[in-house]
Amino acid sequence: MIRMAGVEKRYGTFQALHPLDLEVRTGEVFGFLGPNGAGKTTTIRMLSGVLTPTRGTIEIDGVDIVAEPVKSRRRVGYIPDRPYLYDKLTAREFLAFVGGIYGLESDHIRTRGDQLLAEHGLIERADELVEAYSHGMKQRLVLSASLLHEPRLLIVDEPMVGLDPHGARRIKDRFREVADSGRTVFLSTHSLDTAQEVCDRVGILFKGRLVALGPVQELLADKGSADLEEVFLTITEEETAAAASGAST
């Protein structure tokens, strides 16, 4: 589903992402982990078409994002960490607006939109203004909008911020359903318990480099731990120490 080959990103003299080779499979929930400043947001913005790689190639579902940007974006649903909603629109109006951006037919928008609103527990309040929604309801509306055009890849940045346990459980179950339907979820999160619970594989990014990659259970076994947070801390502390040692020689 995702193929990144030799992908780099520079901002002037600062290299935010060193050559990155990564493949994410169809039908999996992939966790993209790393401390602040590791390069996760830069990577996500390139995958979603907001940024262009300085070097390297990115393919989504076999489509090169630079050579065919419109075609590739139609394959992607993106939920940023701080999504913007139009508070003076109803949920149905907001989905109609999003569907129009993707050039969807109005009948399809209504049918697919109501299906998604029902699946996410919003159908009974679909004609209320978004400003009346709770944080959890807004998150579910954004998820509905991201799936409206039936993307092959769903990219999600920090989905659990501010959600209560019930809301978090609903969202996590939905990610699993999306992957089980033959699509892919690319999940960036600081919530390591969420990653451990829902992800098939994870990659850990540190200072723009991929320092660990594999199935969750294999990474746990490799470090002799049952806790992904402990594994994450161990790996990043080892990389910090190695970087400090290299700088002092």
Counting residues of the chain whose pLDDT is more than 70, the rounded percentage is 97
pLDDT interval class at 170 (50, 70, 90): confident
Angle, in degrees to the nearest 10, between helices 106-119 and 91-101: 130
Q: What are phi and psi of 20, to 5 degrees?
A: -120, 125
pLDDT at residue 160 in the model: 66
Does residue 163 register a pLDDT over 90?
A: no
What's the token pair of residue 237?
């502390």
pLDDT interval class at 231 (50, 70, 90): very high
Cα–chain-centroid distance for residue 203? 13
pLDDT, mean of residues 70-76: 94
pLDDT interval class at 206 (50, 70, 90): very high
pLDDT interval class at 83 (50, 70, 90): confident
CB 113 within 8 Å of CB 68: no
Longest dimension (CA), the chain: 66
Q: What are phi and psi of 215, to 5 degrees?
A: -60, 145
The 10s digit of each residue's pLDDT in 98-129 is 999 999 999 999 999 999 999 999 999 999 99
If one counts every other C-beta atom within 10 angstroms of the C-beta of residue 181, the result is: 9
pLDDT, mean of residues 171-200: 93
pLDDT interval class at 57 (50, 70, 90): very high
